[in-house]
Chain A
């Protein structure tokens, strides 16, 4: 019996309080997921209308916009990495970072250099620890992103994209790595190319019933497109941020649930060992008493003889 009963009791107690904490975190994450999903739903009409409008303009005018222009010989790519600000979410951030490494390797094989843009403290910490350079970073919003942040990130990426090749800080394509929220159980790290935009593909085409009407554009199709595309980019980024937020919370809930389960197991195990130790103590005491009584009886018998 290496450890005394008292120490086991103390361990049980601390595990119990740990369990309470992880349980609370699990419940908080669960309630926030609902909010995050609501936010994603509220943002959906904007994204839907914007997509309709962009495809309307793209269908009726010959799209040749800087944001849809493919560079013939792309040399640099920007990668926007979306991770969480805080840990305790299982493998959430590290699986995003793994996806980033995979994408980076692919881009490097294609002979492109990479500029990193980071969102979330985990990504920043990862890059700083490895002393790898990054262009810009945004932190402090990962579990409830606002549109303003998305707009800020969007502007930075669009600016970098619109620069001429050879100019300082120019990139020829922009990728986003984020975690797609499939369900409460499944979240997948995903890499998508954001720029140059592929307006017609990728989005679900409008159904036969709602063929696009012949719009009149004001001031002109080109200017409308000019106004719409940056907003479209920002709304895509906002969508990724919202998906990432929901995924983060789901991952955290799952991680905290298994932590709570583990704590429960541990408490069970410790209780069993503590009971064993207690029983061993009692048995020893009894055998000591019995031994003592026997010895006394033997001594008395010897004296009486």
Chain B
């Protein structure tokens, strides 16, 4: 926040991944990839200030100085970038490792069955699919 001034380009990209009831992840990153309503968005250092609405999709954060990638599924929300500080806010955020694949698959089935019945179902399907992708990405990344 206030302590993030200084010369542009000399500092790392600080990322806060915040859910409604907790901070899910925070730290420095080399790059953030997220999917907004308009399409994929990659954020590198010194990105112009932006505020975008996110889709129900996967957010990837390449951790600064390592090969680690933090993968999380978000449930809408938004991303804001300013002064090398990225905040990703969403009501529900789950890290790839936290996701129970079986449970999400069951929910996906249930939500697919409800499609057409209400608008909520489509959103649930997208959210469940995003969570599945996040879980897959984490497990495939771990096997390399």
Contacts and interface: CB of A to CB of B under 8 A. Distances in A.
Interface of A: 39, 42-43, 45-46, 49-50, 52-53, 56-57, 146-147, 150-151, 207, 209-210, 212-219, 223-224, 227-228, 231, 234-235, 238
Given A53-B80, A207-B2, A231-B91, A218 B20 contact: no
A223 B21 CA distance: 25
B21 A46 contact: yes
Nearest to A223: B53
A215 B49 contact: yes
Interface of B: 1-2, 5, 16, 18-23, 36-38, 41, 48-53, 76-78, 80, 82-83, 87, 89, 91-92
Contacts of B91: 147, 151, 231, 234
Given A53-B89, A216-B49, A216-B51, A45 B78 contact: no
B51 A46 contact: no
B16 A49 contact: yes
A224 B51 contact: yes
A150 B16 CA distance: 23
14 contacts: A42-B21, A43-B20, A45-B18, A49-B87, A57-B51, A147-B21, A147-B92, A216-B48, A217-B51, A217-B52, A218-B50, A219-B53, A227-B78, A238-B20
Nearest to B1: A210
Given A46-B18, A223-B37, 15 more contacts: A39-B21, A49-B18, A49-B80, A52-B80, A53-B51, A53-B80, A53-B89, A151-B91, A215-B51, A216-B51, A218-B36, A219-B38, A219-B53, A227-B78, A234-B20
